Chain A
Amino acid sequence: MSAMSSTTTTTTISTVGLPSRRNTELALLAFAVLIPCFAYANVGLALNGEMPSGMLGYGIGLGLLAGVGHIVVRKFAKYADPLLLPLATLLNGLGLVLIWRLDQSERLANLAKNQGFKFVASAPNQLLFSAIGIGLFCAVVVFLKDHRILQRYTYISMALALILLIAPMFFPAKFGARIWITIPGLGSIQPGEFAKIILAVFFAGYLMVKRDALALASRRFMGIYLPRGRDLGPILAVWAFSILILVFETDLGTSLLFFGMFVVMLYVATERTSWIAFGLLMSAAGAVGVASFEHHVQARVDAWLDPFGGWGKSAASEQISQALMAFGSGGVFGSGWGQGYSDLIGFAANSDFILGTVGEELGLAGTMGILMIYAVIVERGVRTSLAARDPFGKLLACGLSAAFGIQVFVVAGGVMGLIPLTGMTMPFMAAGGSSVIANWALVAILIKISDTARRPAPAPAPTTDAEMTQVVRP
């Protein structure tokens, strides 16, 4: 830096940019690795009275992943936001501990046995998925030289997203929702998680081109700007698509997420509040319409309205009641790591319902802490969007952060009984490969955009023969 500045002291645009903050990131990462390690030790001591045997391997594993991530960022995205990586690592690490803790539950093992399938510990898989996720993160940071390259793939993204979203319809439904692509022998992936990112790319590219048409050509009616009929096309198409997902894949969460993300990006691109109104109206109409005839969705709504009323009658009600009782039993300070009974939630305790374990074992304090971590990730994403210098980057960063935020709200709100439950995973924490991998990719893109946003302008090549110019200030 100092060598560089000595040669560029006289250039017109200062290239002395913001501090890179890489050391801040490193220090935070140390905490992000240490905190889950302590949590892990805590669970082991609470459950078996001794330090867990996998302690060293786990600590080194997480540390290594974080280290690799950090080195890659330091090298290829020097000016990236310093909070995103540590926060994601912390959530990922805590999620691993929670999953491991639930793996130790005899109750869940017994439940699996009674239902006739083998109980498999999820933590080793989750560690593997986390490694793949960090791998993808590094790959994106290294190979995506500039996020604006993504703009070229606007329509390819659309096609890809469509394929990913439609594909699960041809695969058997699991647990009442058709959101998996099952490859025999290999396992299954949840394409919706990846489609979230790819769709954001498509929306950003599409809206950047069309924003003027959508924003300016409108009629004024009763004080609000109504979009022209033909401009309504895309929003109607996305809406119809969301409804299709809802109907054919019975996946309320994904359709809500996509539609929400689209409306947010449309609003940012056009700065027209009328789109928000339209979006809300249409999503409400769609949700009510589908809920009136889809049994699966109806059951979820009933379970939300009166969780304890359906006890013994509906599995959905029982599960949400169990989650509520887990939160309540945790109280303000929680029962402590490994000392709760959130495994009573049963099915999906370590995926969709993982926040229940947080609620019971870490209490209100822990739940609020975790929610705040998510909120800070979203906040960093939005800040990146604000700082981004190109409209595509702005749109993409804002869309991805909003999607992340909506997803957290939909899952956490569902588990806590604030809104009807939808089958979605808590980013980074919940067991499930697709979710972890996709969210690491999402963070990688945000890191890339923030790097570009905060990077000082490149220094012009110093030419020896050119006269140095001075800015003459009036």
Chain B
Amino acid sequence: MNKPVRRIAIFCGLLTLALLLRSNWLQFVQADSLKTNKHNHRVAIARYSHPRGDIIVDGKAVTGSLEVNGIDYKYRRSYTNGEMWAPVTGYSSQVFDGSQLEKLYDKILTGDDDKLFFNRTVDMFTGKAQKGGDIITTLNSKAQEAAFKGLGDKRGAVAALDPRTGKILALASTPSYDPSKIAGGGKSEEANWTTLEKDKNQPMLNRALRATYPPGSTFKVVTAAAALENGLYTDPDQRTQTPAKYVLPDSVTPLQNEGNIQCENVSMREALRISCNTVFGKISADLGNAKMKKQAEKFGFNNEVLTPVRAEKSVYPKDNRPQNAMDGIGQASNRATPLQMAMVVSAIANNGKLMEPYMVDKVRAPNLNIIETHQPKQMGQPLSAANAQKIQSMMETVVKEGTGKNGQIDTPGVTVGGKTGTAQHGVDNSGNPYAWFISYAKTDNGSPVAVAVVIEGDNETARDDIAGGALAAPIAKNVMEAVLSTSK
């Protein structure tokens, strides 16, 4: 009977071998992917086992870490003025992962980043708990406050840039959400999360970076830039060749102007001042789709921007001739994020140089050493300095004596240029219009601020071009004033 017994021994040996192989497979080959599996709770437990680093605006932290000593987590993320800063910070939740800066800089904030290796090692030997690094942003709290308060309970967004460097100064989106309400992992947090997810106003959508709107008449500055850059017209005050009644190319549809305005053969300056559709529609048609698209792309259209938080791609598509003419007044299939329109203004205000927008200025180790500093970077030169100045003077006319009067700032030494817009959308323009205002302020030291404001109108919003000036311009003005007052 010994032969079969020996075989049984071999059989049992094979079973053991199978188990050993399996445990090697799990604990060696697959160990890393199992360790970081999205369902692996250990990741979140480790993340909240010590205080998280902070996101800092103007020297003050807008985030914090609350010691909660829960069963799973020792700390919980807290936010100061969470609704206002949510479009910047994103959220960091014990159960719902994180977003935006909180997620992108998670390793720095937890202290696990390789750049903090030295700090970690020192802490280990001195017996101190691990600490996270800080993210110092470029934002301006006064400007952010002006933007957020200005938007109030309306749906909309504000993006403000420093045209000279590309620093993002304000990034507001409403309706917003308070990230501290979803930071924990309890029942109420789960309920809050579901409510946010189901809310049809999409409070968690970062409209300043991620929502694209038809830019409406604000796109006319891009069209004007294209006209000058391509030499269609060389002077803002040169009369354009625009018939009183302009019919779209390859079409029988006439392009209407808003209200009873005189647009026949007016100059570009005048056309921008009173926002003539016919003039810019015809310019776009005269230049053709390729040239218009190229100019838009120079401003950043058709490309994602990483601030480092990803901004949605703004679009200027390949279009047929009538559509392309409509694109020239921002009323067809071209769409832009508020950040994109702020980039357009900032390039014009910065004499043609487009700086890459960014919101993280410095990364700071827990011992306050700066381990990373962002250097401003030029993205491109969408238009020549001379042409930029021509458009500046046109935009200044708009604010001085045109549709953008609400953007005026009285402070001596400050000039403001802007452009209003009211974008129609939906089938037969049935949707509520979007009120736009884009502007910049300029002092002797160049332009410290460019801003784009968009407000999703409601039923009562006027459908003419005045809406942009009435609703959006005052917000832009307050943001610019906030920046001007702090940059002195």
Contact = CB atoms under 8 A, between A and B. Distances in A.
Are A and B subunits of one complex?
yes
Interface of A: 106-107, 110, 264, 267-269, 271, 308, 311, 321, 324-325, 327-332, 341, 344, 359, 363-364, 367-368, 371-372, 374-375, 378-379, 382, 385-386, 391, 394-395, 398, 401-402, 405-406, 408-409, 412-413, 416-418
Given A264-B11, A329-B40, A394-B2, 8 more contacts: A267-B4, A325-B42, A327-B26, A328-B33, A372-B16, A379-B12, A386-B2, A416-B19
Given A106-B71, A324-B34, A264 B8 contact: yes
**What's the dominant secondary structure at chain B's contact region?**
helix
B19 A401 contact: no
B297 interface: no
A331 B31 contact: yes
Nearest first, the 9 closest Cβ-Cβ pairs linking A and B are A328-B34, A364-B27, A405-B12, A375-B16, A409-B15, A327-B26, A382-B9, A268-B4, A418-B22
Nearest to B26: A327
Contact of A328 (B9, B15, B30, B45): B30
A207 to B, nearest CB: 10
Contact of B5 (A324, A329, A372, A382): A382
A328 B41 contact: no
Given A325-B34, A328-B31, A382-B12, A359 B26 contact: yes
12 contacts: A264-B8, A271-B1, A271-B3, A332-B27, A332-B28, A378-B16, A385-B5, A391-B1, A395-B1, A405-B12, A405-B16, A417-B22
A350 B280 CA distance: 75
Contact of A308 (B11, B18, B37): B37
A344 B41 contact: yes
Nearest to B43: A329
Given A271-B1, A321-B39, A382-B5, A329 B12 contact: no
B72 interface: yes
A382 B8 contact: yes
A208 to B, nearest CB: 10
A409 B8 contact: no
Contacts of B320: none
Nearest to A272: B4
Contact of B22 (A325, A363, A413): A413
Contacts of B3: 271
A386 B34 contact: no
A394 B39 CA distance: 49
Contacts of A386: 2, 5-6
A408 B11 CA distance: 13
Contact of B4 (A271, A325, A405): A271
B35 interface: yes
Nearest to A312: B39
Contacts of B12: 375, 378-379, 382, 401-402, 405
A417 B19 CA distance: 10
Contacts of A371: 16, 19-20, 23
A416 B26 contact: yes
A308 B35 CA distance: 14
B13 interface: yes
A386 B18 CA distance: 24
Nearest to A378: B12
Of B1, B11, B32, B37, which is in contact with the most chain A CB atoms at under 10 Å from its CB?
A: B1
A385 B15 CA distance: 19
Contacts of B6: 386
B5 A330 contact: no
B24 interface: yes
B35 A329 contact: yes
A213 to B, nearest CB: 16
Nearest to B6: A386
A408 B19 CA distance: 9
Contacts of A418: 18-19, 22
Contact of A405 (B15, B20, B72): B15
A226 to B, nearest CB: 18
Contacts of B1: 268-269, 271, 391, 394-395
Contacts of B26: 324, 327-328, 359, 416-417
Interface in B37-83: 37, 39-42, 45, 71-72
A375 B32 CA distance: 28
Nearest to B21: A418
Contact of B23 (A367, A401, A402): A367
Contacts of A321: 37, 39
Nearest to B12: A405
Contact of A331 (B9, B11, B35): B35
A394 B27 contact: no
Nearest to A363: B27
A341 B24 CA distance: 20
A410 to B, nearest CB: 9
A271 B20 CA distance: 29
A216 B31 CA distance: 52
A188 B3 CA distance: 41
A324 B33 CA distance: 11
Nearest to A376: B16
A406 B5 CA distance: 15
Contact of B45 (A331, A341, A378, A382): A341
